[in-house]
Chain A
Amino acid sequence: MTRSEIRAAFEGGPALVSYVAAGDPSAEATKEYVEALVDGGTDVVELGLPFSEPVAEGTTIQNAIKRALEAGMTPDAYLDLVRELDVDVPVVCMTYYNLIYQYGSEPGPEEFVEAAAEAGISGFVVPDLPVNESEPMYEACREHGLDLVFIVAPTTTPERLESMLDRTTGFVYVQGRLGTTGARDEVSENTPEALERLQDADVPKAVGFGISSGDQAREVVASGADGVIVGSAYVDIIADGVENDLPIEAVADRLEALAAELKAGARKGLPEPERK
């Protein structure tokens, strides 16, 4: 996959970006879950590489990361998992900078970015790497043809937004609300405003943080988003599976159904003539 394919994933209508933590609760389960999410209509997979200090995550994903680490997920095991995935959509690696920085023989992002590119990763979301610290990572991504996706927060200033857009190639991750990740009952009222200030940016905009239902996906797309990012709602299903000792297939079926609901909801958010 190359950057053109991440962007291409947004060209067939509103895109569904789906997050799960790799290795939650096992690498084997993650493979099936990712494939189910893609069967349900996911256009971009955001696969979390678990870090011990996930400061941008809410409780749901924190617990998922803990389960994955306890099950032995490592950066190398993560890359193996990516290689073994049987999906035809771009996979974005979401992780924290220290794991990228430590990988390989020399500190710095180059070796992990290279290994990730070889394994089939298309881009990165690194929540604790703001644009002003991103130079080495950006250069490494550029060298290997990967996208570095920046998160635009409700607090982001116009100057910072401009810096981010200068470096954005895949899509812009629009953080729909203040705080951390986690499913919410309502779409943040700030979402239309957040999208409005990005309307001139020539890059797909996907909204995340808090989306968990088809109705919310519809609302977000109706506000002008090119895609929705969903994580905690899936992770809740996985956590329920762990808690009740459900078979992988049963959990995968529920994930596929939720992805399908989200995708259908997103499509309904398009103005009538554009719906497919």
Chain B
Amino acid sequence: MSEESKRTTGAQSETQAGKFGAYGGQYVPEVLMPAVEELADAYERYVLGNEDGFVDDFRQRIREFGGRPTPLSHAENLSGRYGFDVYLKREDLLHGGAHKLNNALGQVLLAKYMGKERIVAETGAGQHGTATAMACAYLDMPCEIYMGRTDVNRQRPNVFRMRIHDAEVNPVDVGSGTLKEAINETMRDWATNVEDTHYVIGSVVGPHPFPAMVRDFQSVISEEMRVQSEDQLGRLPEAVIACAGGGSNTMGAFAAFVGRADHRSAEQGSGGVATSARLPGAPEGTHEPAADVDLLAVEAGGSSLGVDKAEGYAPNSASLSTGTEGVLHGARTKLLQTEEGQIVESHSVSAGLDYAGVGPELAYLVDEGRVEPVNVDDDAALEAFHRLSREEGIIPALESSHAVAYLEGYEGDGPVVVNVSGRGDKDLDTVIEESAARDIAGAPTMEVFEE
């Protein structure tokens, strides 16, 4: 870069803000840039620097309101089935029933510290919308949620939960009516009301600082996993398995095993990584890389890994496994797209994984060989949903069912930790319908009760 261009592009490019190797960045309309910069500044001060005791406040609230730490449960029956120890990190037991509260509470609290007066958010499966609505009720902030019409229809219980918490829910009718369209619409609202509004992005996606900040709020998952593994297993697990849609529970489950980002970039000269810090107050040792722990990101293989580029449709949401590099929703990352760069409609039986992109840090970690992307299809996820419900007494979210399903093909000898990112109550309508339509093994039916 020339001296002149360094000067003209300002401070951002000199610090490579928000870059994970070639991924990340800040690709948003100019009207949003000052808000993004203000947020990056607030992230550095409050989240990384614990200014005004922000992180202490967050940690106390996520304990007392959220119910952390969540347990690490030994899954005895699954362990017997597979012949190695399976542990479940129980984010389904977090208040609200999913890991999403870690981030939503963190961001709504940060918005309070920043003096913002209104929250907007997008949601796919509704868990992020629910968590945001819940955090807003708790912290007394007005809240408006955008949700694709398809997702509104397949996640009705969560729509009602958001409304119970006094959030306004706006269905988005364009496109396939899923997460991608909800994000577009929320960005438009943010662009119109940017001066007093904070956009609580629900995953490790979007412009810097969102991917780094959401990861940091979610990193409480893997902080606890490490400490609990040492206590309960006497060692770190052989592998951590987490489902990946946008990637927030994935990065939350992996962050403390990856170690501090600056170690990687300094050693490998990969062009700079967004931040070098984790959430202040993390237990001793959880900043250190754990290179011998395999990190498996389980994507939604949908019905097939192919992409019908002519039709602009992918019957999967496996952007880490099959996507190509591009720019969407504020970041450079791996995307499901046509050769011309049009974003294709994705598919998963799980609304929460149904997204054509993925967090830029995950894309980077996959390229670096630190994270292995794998996938399971819709049927396998449904089977795993029933298996965990039947054999362990835990109804997992359809998202988490993908991670559980991967145990069937796992070839190590454990112990492994599966991140159960959320509970599956919200998915029951989908599961009843899809299990019957696909004749899923081991699925109970409701037919006997129907006249």
Contacts and interface: CB of A to CB of B under 8 A. Distances in A.
A64 interface: no
A166 B195 contact: no
A127 B341 contact: no
Interface in B4-56: 5, 7-10, 12-13, 25-35, 37
B192 interface: yes
Contacts of A74: 340
Interface string A145-171: 000001111111101100100110000
A180 interface: yes
Interface string B172-193: 0011000010001001100111
B205 interface: no
B35 A155 contact: yes
Contacts of A96: 327
A76 B447 CA distance: 53
B174 A53 contact: no
A130 B340 contact: no
B69 interface: no
A175 B31 contact: yes
Contacts of B13: 132, 135
A66 interface: yes
A160 B340 CA distance: 31
B30 A151 contact: yes
B27 A130 contact: yes
Interface string A84-106: 00000000000011111111000
B10 A163 contact: yes
Given A102-B326, A155-B195, A55 B26 contact: no
B342 A132 contact: no
A48 B180 CA distance: 21
Given A53-B343, A107-B325, A153 B9 contact: no
B34 A97 contact: no
A131 interface: yes
B312 interface: yes
B191 A178 contact: yes
Given A155-B31, A163-B9, A97 B195 contact: no
A153 B274 CA distance: 26
A133 B27 contact: yes
A241 interface: no
Given A52-B342, A102-B340, A178-B194, A134 B328 contact: no
A160 B10 contact: yes
A120 interface: no
A100 B330 CA distance: 15
A58 B28 CA distance: 15
Nearest to A76: B340
A101 B327 contact: yes
B29 A151 contact: yes
A127 B27 CA distance: 9
A132 B1 CA distance: 13
A112 to B, nearest CB: 10
Contacts of B329: 53, 55
Nearest to B174: A62
Contacts of B32: 155
A129 interface: yes
A178 B337 CA distance: 30
B292 interface: no
A128 interface: yes
B26 to A, nearest CB: 6
B188 A130 contact: no
A20 interface: no
A101 B191 CA distance: 24
B327 A128 contact: yes
B411 interface: no
B191 to A, nearest CB: 5
A69 interface: yes
A223 to B, nearest CB: 19
A130 B28 contact: yes
Contacts of A51: 341-342
Interface in B155-213: 174-175, 180, 184, 187-188, 191-195
B31 to A, nearest CB: 4
A103 B191 contact: no
A33 B187 CA distance: 31
Contacts of A167: 8
Contacts of B284: none
A178 B326 contact: no
A162 to B, nearest CB: 8
Given A101-B341, A102-B337, A154-B31, A132 B10 contact: yes
A171 B219 CA distance: 45
A186 to B, nearest CB: 16
Contact of B34 (A100, A138, A156): A156
Interface in A160-193: 160, 163, 166-167, 175, 178-180
B27 A178 contact: no
Given A135-B13, A178-B191, A160 B33 contact: yes
B451 interface: no
28 contacts: A51-B342, A52-B312, A52-B342, A53-B329, A55-B28, A55-B188, A55-B191, A55-B329, A96-B327, A97-B27, A98-B327, A98-B328, A127-B30, A130-B29, A131-B30, A135-B1, A135-B5, A153-B29, A155-B30, A155-B31, A155-B34, A156-B30, A157-B37, A159-B10, A160-B34, A175-B31, A178-B194, A180-B188
Given A132-B26, A152-B30, 16 more contacts: A52-B175, A52-B312, A52-B342, A75-B340, A99-B341, A102-B341, A128-B327, A131-B8, A131-B10, A132-B10, A151-B31, A154-B31, A155-B35, A166-B7, A175-B30, A178-B194
Q: Which 3 A-B pairs have the closest CB atoms?
A: A102-B341, A179-B192, A153-B31
Interface of A: 51-56, 58, 62, 66, 69, 74-75, 96-103, 107, 127-135, 138, 150-157, 159-160, 163, 166-167, 175, 178-180
